[in-house]
């Protein structure tokens, strides 16, 4: 038995029956003009399904708020034309035997340096801060908070109705949900803020409750989280396992089935005194299944890739050792799958000499 066979054990969660442990990480591609995924976008996801990915998580896709997105070429997850296009995507993925979850996204006050496009409505954010100390807008009103929670719920209902196999909420990387978690961007003194992390987690908890109410019991709900922020790679929400438990447990109770724990390098320990990574701790503290991610199978990390740094294939031995210890259940792979739709099959068959370097050019195409 090859060590990589551990990646090819099935994983079951309620109605979700994954043939292997490999998840395609959500990756914004900006190839959906006017917010509508094209036939090429559907074909791109279908190729990953044909390539044997266990579960595809879509690029972040905007919920129904005027400023949920900051790029006109990122797909929306609301509107007749948009949802019909997503139906085509999921039908194509299913036709190839794949499984897929949309990643439901609200960017909050995160700016996009690639475009001058302005969203058709006021920016939503907890305290009008784009990063700590940088005031640029008004805080969200109670009505805006309520409407945003409802919009996440509606998007989850639509995902289930269209036939998607799960939903993922983007609660990571300094976007709206994470802006509520982070004291640096949430200075509210009402019920959506407070000096403790559990108080700042109420927004996510209410979104999870709305999503759970919309999809019913048993439908898989994933939430993606990170300690790091695009505004500050060194930022941390939970400094100790106890703080992490107080952050994650209310979300598990509110309906999160799987924690998708985003790190830039999966092997980095979360707390001193243990080599468990973020997913390892999240699983240990909540008992829920987890997804790890970050530089799987590649030599360099993804933020450097945006600056143009290439990466070479890297050994999976360290990952497999952790999988063998049940540190996490699932493994998300980003750039390696963006570069090469056949990455999973090459790993399964041990075709290591055919693994590809990741280059910046891959960001500019939708193959
Ligand atoms: C082009 C690109 C777009 C990304 N867009 C998203 C996104 O929409 N949502 C998200 O949660 N993460 C996004 N990420 C982060 C990836 O999901 C993943 O966590 C990161 O690339 C690390 O995995 P990797 O080292 O295997 O690439 C993106 C990464 C890349 C390279």
CA 244 to chain centre: 19
Q: Is the CB of 294 under 6 A from ligand 1?
A: yes
Mean pLDDT of 215-220: 98
Using a 6 Å cutoff on CB, does residue 363 contact ligand 1? yes
Q: Which atom of ligand 1 is nearest to the CA of 25?
A: 17
CA of 59 to the centre of ligand 1 (A): 8
Q: How confident is the model at residue 20 (pLDDT cuts 50, 70, 90)?
A: very high
User: Does the pLDDT of residue 2 top 80, yes or no?
Assistant: no
C-beta 302 within 6 A of ligand 1? yes
Residue nearest to atom 24 of ligand 1 (CA): 334
Take atom 7 of ligand 1 and give the residue whose Cα is closest: 27
- Is the CB of 103 inside a 6 Å radius of any atom of ligand 1? yes
- Which stretch of DSSP H or E encloses residue 181? helix 176-181
User: Closest Cα to atom 14, ligand 1: which residue?
Assistant: 27
The pLDDT > 90 percentage for the chain reads: 94
Q: Is 27 in the pocket of ligand 1 (CB under 6 A)?
A: yes
Q: What is the pLDDT of residue 115?
A: 87
Distance CA(8)–CA(363), nearest Å, equals: 28
Provide the pLDDT for residue 308: 87
pLDDT at residue 1, as a whole number: 67
Exposed, middle or buried, 95 (CB in 10 Å: 0-12/13-18/19+)? exposed
Percentage of the chain surpassing pLDDT 70?
100
Closest CA to 335 of 356, 307, 315: 356
Tens digits of residue pLDDT in 228-255: 999 999 999 999 999 999 999 999 999 9
- Is pTM, for the whole model, over 0.85? yes
pLDDT digits (tens, 9 = 90+) for 286-317: 999 999 999 999 999 999 888 888 899 999 99
pLDDT in tens, 161-199: 999 999 999 999 999 999 999 999 999 999 999 999 999
In tens, the pLDDT along 91-112 reads 999 999 999 999 999 999 998 8
Which of 26, 44, 62, 290 to mutate for ligand 1's pocket (most ligand atoms within 8 Å of CB)?
26
Residue nearest to atom 6 of ligand 1 (CA): 27
**Can you tell me the distance from the alpha carbon of 105 to that of 170, in angstroms, rounded to the nearest whole number?**
5
**For ligand 1, atom 4, which residue shows the shortest CA distance?**
27
Tokens 């959500």 sit on residue: 26
CA 27 to ligand 1 centroid distance, Å: 5
Decide if 297 contacts 355 (C-beta within 8 A): yes
Q: Residue 172 has what DSSP assignment?
A: E
The residue whose C-alpha atom lies closest to atom 30 belonging to ligand 1 is 27
Nearest alpha carbon, ligand 1 atom 28: 27
């Amino acid at each position: 038995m090859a060590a990589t066979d551990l990646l090819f054990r099935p994983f079951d969660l309620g109605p979700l029956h994954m043939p292997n442990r490999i998840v395609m990480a959500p990756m914004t591609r900006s190839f959906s003009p006017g917010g509508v995924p094209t036939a090429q976008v559907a074909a791109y996801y279908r190729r990953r399904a044909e390539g044997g990915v266990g579960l595809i998580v879509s690029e972040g896709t905007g919920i129904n708020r005027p400023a949920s997105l900051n790029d006109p070429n990122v797909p929306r997850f609301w509107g007749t034309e948009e949802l019909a296009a997503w139906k085509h995507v999921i039908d194509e993925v299913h036709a190839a035997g794949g499984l897929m979850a949309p990643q439901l996204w609200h960017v909050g006050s995160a700016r996009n340096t690639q475009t001058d496009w302005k969203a058709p409505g006021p920016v939503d954010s907890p305290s009008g801060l784009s990063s700590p100390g940088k005031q640029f807008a008004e805080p969200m009103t109670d009505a805006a908070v309520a409407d945003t929670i409802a919009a996440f719920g509606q998007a989850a209902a639509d995902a289930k109705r269209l036939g998607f196999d799960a939903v993922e909420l983007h609660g990571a990387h300094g976007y709206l949900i994470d802006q509520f978690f982070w004291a640096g961007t949430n200075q509210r003194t009402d019920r959506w803020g407070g000096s403790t992390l559990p108080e700042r987690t109420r927004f996510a908890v209410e979104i999870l409750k709305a999503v759970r109410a919309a999809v019913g019991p048993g439908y898989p709900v994933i939430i993606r989280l990170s300690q790091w922020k695009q505004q500050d790679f060194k930022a941390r929400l939970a400094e100790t396992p106890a703080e992490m438990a107080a952050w994650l447990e209310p979300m598990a109770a509110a309906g999160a089935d799987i924690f998708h724990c985003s790190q830039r390098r999966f092997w980095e320990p979360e707390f001193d005194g243990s080599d468990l990574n973020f997913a390892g701790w999240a699983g240990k503290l909540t008992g829920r299944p987890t997804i790890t991610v970050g530089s799987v199978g590649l030599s360099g990390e993804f933020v450097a890739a945006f600056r143009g740094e290439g990466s070479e294939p890297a050994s999976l031995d360290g990952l497999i050792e952790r999988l063998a210890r049940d540190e996490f259940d699932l493994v998300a792979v980003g750039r390696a799958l963006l570069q090469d739709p056949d990455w999973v099959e090459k790993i399964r068959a041990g075709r290591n000499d055919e693994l590809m370097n990741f280059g910046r050019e891959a960001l500019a195409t939708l193959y």
